Amino acid sequence: MAAFILRRFLMLIATLFVASLIVFAVLEIVPGDPARLMLGLNASEDAIEALRNEMGLNQPIIPRYVSWVGGLLIGDFGTSYTYRVAVSELVTERIVVSLPLAILALALSTSIALPVALLAARHRGTSADTAIMTATQVGVAIPNFWFALLLVYLFAVTLQWVPAVGFPGWGDDPAGSLTALILPAIALALPQAAILSRVTRSALLEALSQDYIRTARAKGVAEGDVLWKHALRNALIPVLTILGLQFAFLLAGTIIIENVFTLPGLGRLIFQAITQRDLIVVQSVVMLLVVTVISINFLVDIAYAWADPRLRGQR
Amino acid sequence: MRGLTLGYGVSDRMVTVVSKTRSPKTAWSWFIHAMRNRSFAVGITVTALVVLMALVSIVWTPYDITKLTIPDRLQGPSLTHLFGTDHFGRDLFSMVMEGSRNSMSVALIAVGVGLFIGVPLGCLAAAKRGWLDDVLMRGADVIFAFPALLSAIMITAIFGPGAINAIIAIGIFNIPVFARVTRGAALAIWQREFILAARAAGKSASRITVEHILPNIANLLVVQATIQFSLGILAEAGLSYVGLGAQPPSTSWGRMLAEAQTMMGIAPQMALAPGIAIIATVLGLNLLGDGLRDITDPQTENLAAHG
Amino acid sequence: MNIKKTLAISASTIALAIVATSTSALAERTDLSVGMVLEPEHLDPTAGAAAAIDEVVYANVFEGLTRINEDGSVAPALAESWEISDDGKVYTFKLRSGAKFHDGTDLDAGDVVFSLDRARSGDSTNAQKALFAAIESVEAVDPTTVTVTLSEAAGSFLYNMGWGDAVIVAPESADTNKEKPIGTGPFKFDRWSRGVSVDLVKSDDYWGDAPALEKVSFRFIADPAAATAALQAGDVQAFPNFPAPEAIAAFEADPRFAVEIGSTEGETILSTNNAKPPFDNVLVRRAIAHAIDRQAIIDGAMFGLGTPIGTHFAPHNAAYVDLTGQSAFDPEKARGLLAEAGFADGFSATIKLPPPSYARRGGEIVAAQLREVGIDLEIIPVEWAQWLEQVFRNKDYDLTIVSHTEPNDIGIYARDDYYFQYDNVVLEAVIEKLDRTADPDDRTALFAEAQQIVADDAVNGFLFQLAKSGVWDAKLEGLWENSPVQANDMTKVRWTE
């Protein structure tokens, strides 16, 4: 097991290295000079050149890469070109929005998907199952930002139950902040719930077709208990895998939803940074997300191997 | 079941089961058989309608959407304008038709990119194994580690918005999907006895791949392509929604949604028409994919029948 | 804020909400959230061109010697009075006594000397150094008296000193104003949640009349749909430069809101690369002018908000000359002119469009209109960064649409190397004369002459004057209807009832 973990870990390091090269290289070729953008229309060439020097943009490419990666390793993400504050500070400010949103959305999608999947599996083949599966098909097909627009129009603008946009901040107004995350979380969670319930249902059905379930049934265990106690436990691994990946996606993929609701989260930070050519922010945040995804994959792999020793020999 | 997919993050739809070879039948009798599957029947019908709409739009739309008639703007649905008009007085039905062509061709070409690069890579990995396999699959891991929609936004923001760059941005993330599916399925086929026989007969790896592996995994690839196609439509909608996809005077469903969002209060038809078009198309393609999987894979059919 | 909603939604905040309700029931409301489209990158108006900086701090946090009023007139600010020498070269300003910076230090003549010298120095990062070009020297006579000597009489000097770029800062805080602005205004900086808002609170030792508001929060909402929703949901109570003209009609019909359509200094033009064939041909440029249906653009892109212009000048300005008739919509004439120029079959070109909706939507309409006369435009949307780099700096463009929001900026047509690449010695002479003229009537005549020249040469396609559509809660009063300068002056704003 230790050897397996070590091998996986080395792979993780290699993957991160390649990813960092890609991120750095792609952003090297972005057109647009951040120094010029910062100084505006009437800035003199001298002032722009001075600012370029100050920002380290005139250094050769390799030292710049090394100092960027070196900084990342010790938690120094550099200084934002536009805001002139530490990137780590910006990220901290934003992650307290994105992380709770992702957790809320994940909790919501799980608490919808699991009962729905159990219900469908329990009544498999009936019209209830068909209805649920049809609904999840539709759920998967709905673009989440379109759904978000409808939610805003209905609940914020027409009914005025929740604020339409913005985020008051946890320190000022914890309840208001939570309220502000409700609609975005729903918009994110429903399509995810549709996917998750489909996965869970088929995992349950697969588990139900195993021999030991037949044995349990033959012994007279009630159908509900069969589902809850036996099938669900065995279906957990694929479900957890999907959950892990969904979490990474929710953390990173909320970019459009955050724009719809004007939430000051990570996705919006990157979006703004891209349009403002604040490359250091883009590089660092994308890298941070990549690290998150790779780490989650790593943990999932370890968990798999722990659960099923046969996998340890595989690459 | 693992698979990061563009726009929608995670899908339950990465195919993992290896299909069985089908006894040869004529295409028509296969189709008649397939139509008994409800998912397939609904899926193929909806998809065919959308494709038809896209094809017709090449030669004809009720109105020319490159002509703006500002005085006719923001009309509700009527007999002259089936879905109403937008803020430039363009006919929304014509725009949905025109949009179907752009949305579908972006998604379709992006699938093509994934197929034509991913499948050979997957075959190569399965045939050669060893370090090449390792490098290719680790490469796929690296791509999967990037948040897909975010990266697509980055790519289009850097290289400029437009349909071509949208295709590239979506296509890149299709490559590892097809590479992995192909490799997984091909590996299983390589273990089969008839392959061993072919090897014993002295056939080269590339010949075996072309003659035996590909025909046996074709079903699987078709199913996966259907799924990636539907995800591509959603991804294109997302990119166009943030203004990075199709550019005027052309349009796409995502672009229509972007234009509609500030007009929700005064012209809801502008958001509803393209939104429903997207949902119907994606739903149709997903049903088609499910149906195909059921038909070509007795195991899942079995599951569905017996629970 | 949002007391009703909080009550309706969350039981856990009932206690809080009751406290809030009881206090707000006793006194009139004194807080305000103001929506803005763009977030400033920093908050020092003397070191950046972005309008968003002035929209937060001008007149609220920072003040200059003079200030510009809502009607565009110049009024005393930190200088309570001034005298001008007979030759128009020496200005003696008498400073306000009792004016204090927010860090508690007194304003004195030394601060004024420091601010003006800093702005016009060689290594200054002031975005509008031209405002200070006429200054020869600045001297402190005594703690409340400053004399400014100009190299030659400049008619617009007092107006120039009212710009946000000319506000008075203290030497101790000048370097940190970007992050923590310290000025002399009625509001002081409280905090900045990046990506969300900048909060200001009332300053207790302001020299003038105390503002009615205790707290002003400027919230940044770039997305037009989100801006609409934020106003309707009451998340912001005022949006002085509301970005979604399509929603204006709905707000006008809603008694909860007041809608004020004013005008801005923004001439929205189809900027043309005058050095690049075929646009170097005046016949082609005139053809484009006649191919454009301004009203269709105003209706289609701005939902009717905007005033057609026929030259680069604001219609609300007294010196404006209406030249729209000279380039009236006439596709036949446009085709004729194109044929005369040798383009009977038309030609292809590109149009680069920056992000604002006036440009993106307006560009779509312009492209459709030019297609009617045979000019096929490829639309290239660009971000501001790319626009600055490609269009403004490298002049790598055919056509673009942008709103020139600086007041009285027809002088840009005389600038060498400006991105229009327009070169006309006659106009340059007129502008030079204008710079040296102080007499109002003479200036009006010269402005008219300049307007006529740029219209005759059809330097750019002149589309419309950008409207300022302000939407706010009907119970608010004192917000500006027009924008003679980029500002959200909160000093007179109050809640009624």
- CA atoms of A126 and A128, how far apart (whole Å): 5
* Highest mean predicted confidence (pLDDT) among A31-45, A164-178, B115-129, C112-126: B115-129
Residue B177 DSSP SS3:
helix
Per-residue confidence at A38, pLDDT binned at 50, 70, 90? Answer: low
User: pLDDT tens digits for chain B (307 residues)?
Assistant: 333 333 333 444 444 444 444 455 688 888 888 888 888 999 999 999 999 999 999 999 999 988 888 888 888 889 889 899 988 999 999 999 999 999 999 999 999 999 999 999 999 999 988 899 988 988 888 888 887 777 787 777 777 788 888 898 889 989 999 999 999 889 988 988 888 888 888 889 899 999 889 988 988 899 889 989 998 999 899 888 888 888 888 889 999 998 888 887 788 889 999 999 999 999 999 999 888 888 876 444 333 333 2
Please indicate if any CB of chain A lies within 8 Å of the CB of B145.
yes
Q: How far is CA B99 from CA A135, B6, B94, B163, C326, in A?
A: 26, 20, 8, 12, 39
Return the residue matching tokens 């959308």: B50
Residue C395 tokens read as: 């002049």
> Would you call C10 and A36 a contact, using CB atoms and an 8 Å cutoff?
no
Q: Are B121 and A241 in contact (CB under 8 A)?
A: no
Q: What is the pLDDT of residue A59?
A: 80
Q: What is the pLDDT of residues A80-107, one digit of tens each?
A: 877 778 889 888 888 888 889 989 999 9
Per-residue confidence at A223, pLDDT binned at 50, 70, 90? Answer: confident
- For A99, residues 6+ apart whose C-beta sits below 8 A from its C-beta are A251
Provide the shortest C-alpha distance from residue A168 to chain B (in Å): 23
Q: What is the pLDDT of residue C5?
A: 37
Q: Is A149 exposed, middle or buried, given 0-12, 13-18 or 19+ CB atoms closer than 10 A? A: buried
> Would you call B153 and A140 a contact, using CB atoms and an 8 Å cutoff?
no
Q: pLDDT averaged over chain A? A: 82
> Would you call A94 and C178 a contact, using CB atoms and an 8 Å cutoff?
no
- CA atoms of A123 and A224, how far apart (whole Å): 11
- CA atoms of C178 and C189, how far apart (whole Å): 11
Q: What is the DSSP string of C172-234?
A: TTGGGTTTS---SSSEEEEEEETTTEEEEEE-TT-SSPPPS-SEEEEEE---HHHHHHHHHTT
- For B29, residues 6+ apart whose C-beta sits below 8 A from its C-beta are none
- Is residue A291 over pLDDT 80? yes
Provide the shortest C-alpha distance from residue A172 to chain B (in Å): 30
In sequence order, what are the beta bridge partners of C147? C92, C139
Closest-CA residue of A relative to B271 is A146
Q: Up-side HSE of residue B34: CA atoms within 13 Å toward CB?
A: 25
Provide the shortest C-alpha distance from residue C363 to chain B (in Å): 9
What stretch of H or E contains C404?
A: strand C399-404
Residue B23 DSSP SS3:
coil
Q: What is the pLDDT of residue B11?
A: 44
Q: What is the ipTM of this complex?
A: 0.82
Q: What is the pLDDT of residue A7?
A: 86
Residue environment code for A277-288, b if the CB has 16+ CB neighbours within 10 A, otherwise e: bbbbbbbbbbbb
Q: What is the pLDDT of residue A41?
A: 56
- For C367, residues 6+ apart whose C-beta sits below 8 A from its C-beta are B248, B249, C351, C377, C379
**pTM of the complete model beyond 0.95:** no
> Would you call B146 and A293 a contact, using CB atoms and an 8 Å cutoff?
yes
Nearest to C203 by CA among C383, C342, C86, C62: C62
> Would you call C365 and B264 a contact, using CB atoms and an 8 Å cutoff?
no
Please indicate if any CB of chain B lies within 8 Å of the CB of A19.
yes
Closest-CA residue of A relative to B272 is A146
Residue C58 backbone zone (phi > 0: left; psi -120 to 50: alpha; other: beta): beta
Q: What is the pLDDT of residue C79?
A: 95
Q: Please, what is the Cα angle at C82 between C77 and C87, to 5 degrees?
A: 135
- B69, B75, B88: best to mutate for the C interface, most C CBs within 10 A: B88
Q: How far is CA C489 from CA A132, C69, C99, C164, C195, in A?
A: 56, 9, 18, 12, 22
- B143, B146, B233, B253: best to mutate for the A interface, most A CBs within 10 A: B146
Please indicate if any CB of chain A lies within 8 Å of the CB of B96.
no
CA B179 from chain center: how many Å?
16
Q: For chain C, which chains pass the contact test of at least 3 CB pairs under 8 Å? A: A, B
Per-residue confidence at A311, pLDDT binned at 50, 70, 90? Answer: low
Q: What is the pLDDT of residue C336?
A: 95
Q: Please, what is the Cα angle at C161 between C157 and C167, to 5 degrees?
A: 165
> Would you call A272 and C232 a contact, using CB atoms and an 8 Å cutoff?
no
User: pLDDT tens digits for chain C (497 residues)?
Assistant: 344 333 333 333 333 333 444 444 446 789 999 999 888 888 999 987 778 899 999 999 999 999 998 888 889 999 999 999 988 899 999 999 889 999 999 999 999 999 999 998 877 778 777 788 889 999 999 999 999 999 988 778 898 899 999 999 999 999 889 889 999 999 999 988 887 889 999 999 899 999 999 999 999 888 888 888 888 888 899 999 998 888 898 899 889 999 999 888 889 999 999 999 999 999 999 999 999 999 999 999 999 999 999 999 999 888 999 999 999 999 999 999 999 999 999 999 999 999 888 999 999 999 999 999 999 999 998 887 778 878 988 899 999 999 998 778 898 999 878 999 999 999 999 999 988 887 888 989 999 999 999 999 999 999 999 998 899 999 999 998 877 788 899 999 999 87
Of C29 and A300, more confident = C29
> Would you call A36 and C389 a contact, using CB atoms and an 8 Å cutoff?
yes
Per-residue confidence at A44, pLDDT binned at 50, 70, 90? Answer: low
A contact residues 80-109, partner B, Cβ 8 Å cutoff:
none
